[in-house]
Amino acid sequence: MGRSHDRRAASGAAAGIRQGNLTYHFPAKLDLVKALRDEARAVLSRREALGPTDDVCTDYVHHVTSSMELVWRYRFLLRDRAQLVDTDLPRSAPPELAADLARLERLIERFRDDGLLRRSLDVDLRVFARSLWVVSRYWLDHLDEFEHVGETEWSHHARGIEHHRAVLDPCLTADGRRRLDDAFRRASRSWLAA
């Protein structure tokens, strides 16, 4: 029993099923990868179908928290991607991740257009958005690898958001920080009430 067995057992445990059931339904690892990829695409399609609201801060909070949830749920797929280079999966970034980054870039542009970014801010907004995306993406690796979190809770997302805010807040106007605070408070109440 090697590393492959351990990963399959962990994948089965994460899915709430025994390893035998996992291998029955998904005889090859690639079968499981494709099923997870299709499931993730469906979740992202439903999220995209919601479309933007009139409040960029609400959209931003929803985007960041839902992206963290998705990356956490599909972390096995993302982490093991390098092992799949000989398959029919593209070697470049998955289109879903590229779309997630592009959506974050559009949100940062909306911050600018709504006057929520400091006027004196002299930064390439694409680089800025990518920095924020990296914080979200790798915060979850930190939870997995350093804190050995089994399942995420709102407190994990809130801490990830604190890291986001450490990058974002110095670039916001006072009104931008206030509106973002309000949006995070609403999201927190909603999450905790569910």
Supply the CATH number for residue 85's domain.
1.10.357.10
**Residue 15 domain-assigned (yes or no):** no
172 strand-pairing partners: 117
List the domain range (segments joined by +) for residue 124. Answer: 53-193
Assess if residue 176 is contained within a domain: yes
89 within a domain of the structure (yes/no): yes
The reply to whether 12 falls in a domain is no
Helix H, strand E, coil C: the string for 7-54 is HHHHHHHHHCCCHHHHHHHCCCHHHHHHHHHHHHHHHHHHHHHHCCCC
Q: How many domains does the chain have?
A: 1
pLDDT in tens, 17-52: 677 766 777 767 777 777 777 887 888 788 888 888
Q: Kindly state whether residue 186 falls inside one of the protein's structural domains.
A: yes
Give dist(CA 178, CA 92) in Å, integer: 38
pLDDT in tens, 145-191: 899 998 899 999 999 999 999 999 999 999 999 999 999 999 999 98
Q: Which residues pair with 117 in a beta bridge?
A: 172
Q: Establish if 17 belongs to a structural domain.
A: no
In a domain, 41, yes or no: no
The CA–CA distances, whole Å, from 27 to 74, 78, 129 equal: 19, 20, 39
